[in-house]
Copies of this chain bind each other. A is one copy, B any other.
């Protein structure tokens, strides 16, 4: 996945590979994949053991995740995977609309033929994953689809602010109903997005992305309210 160019644009000098970074990435992955259910308690020592590192990098990783909101304190010595609070979900969605809308609008004017082709390739992966009921993969490619567009905006700091938002909803997202989260609403908006990019129409692209975000929000909210104690 050649996303290094963007990363370099964001940070001209690359930080060294720290063990704590690896721990962070692994934990993040686990969170996105839904390995830990909401409410699960995280401990430094357990994470350290699980990741095969000492407590220092594990602590770094957990603290970073807490800072990003992917984990929350419930007590001075307790961090858990947060529950999907509907109020927070609404706020995140609001922020996503503002930030990802901005990124989409900016990305709109960067459309080329190759970019359209790449997006269609990703969309094909989503469709295939959906057809074959590999919902986790579909979710993953969905994320790729969005971030591929956002990267076009050429605003690396903006990108760096959007990513934690996905992590935040992703943790609870994957836990609840991954099997139908993406199936119904994604396709149409993505088609519209690809079309808008082909026409280099930033406004339409923004509209498509915002529509996608809103539809996802409704889906999530419905799943959430339907889930009052599993």
Name A's B-contacting residues (CB within 8 A): 9, 11-16, 56, 60, 63-64, 66-67, 69, 72-78, 87-88, 91-92, 94-95, 98-99, 101-102, 155-158, 160-161
Contact = CB atoms under 8 A, between A and B. Distances in A.
A42 B158 CA distance: 25
22 contacts: A9-B87, A11-B73, A13-B73, A13-B74, A13-B75, A13-B76, A14-B73, A15-B66, A15-B73, A15-B76, A56-B56, A64-B67, A69-B157, A69-B160, A88-B157, A91-B157, A94-B102, A94-B155, A94-B158, A95-B102, A95-B158, A98-B99
A48 to B, nearest CB: 15
Contacts of A72: 11, 13
Q: Which 9 A-B pairs have the closest CB atoms?
A: A16-B76, A98-B98, A98-B102, A15-B73, A13-B73, A13-B74, A91-B155, A91-B157, A13-B75
Interface of A is mostly: helix
Number of copies of this chain that the complex holds: 2
Contacts of A12: 74
A160 B165 CA distance: 12
A54 to B, nearest CB: 13
Contacts of A16: 76-77
A98 B88 CA distance: 19
Given A15-B66, A16-B76, A98-B99, 4 more contacts: A13-B75, A13-B76, A13-B78, A69-B157
A63 B56 CA distance: 13
Contacts of A158: 91, 94-95
A94 B72 CA distance: 29
Contacts of A64: 63, 67
A168 B73 CA distance: 26
Contact of A67 (B67, B73, B88, B99): B67
Nearest to A102: B98
Nearest to A69: B157
A73 B21 CA distance: 15
Given A11-B72, A15-B76, A74-B12, A95 B99 contact: yes
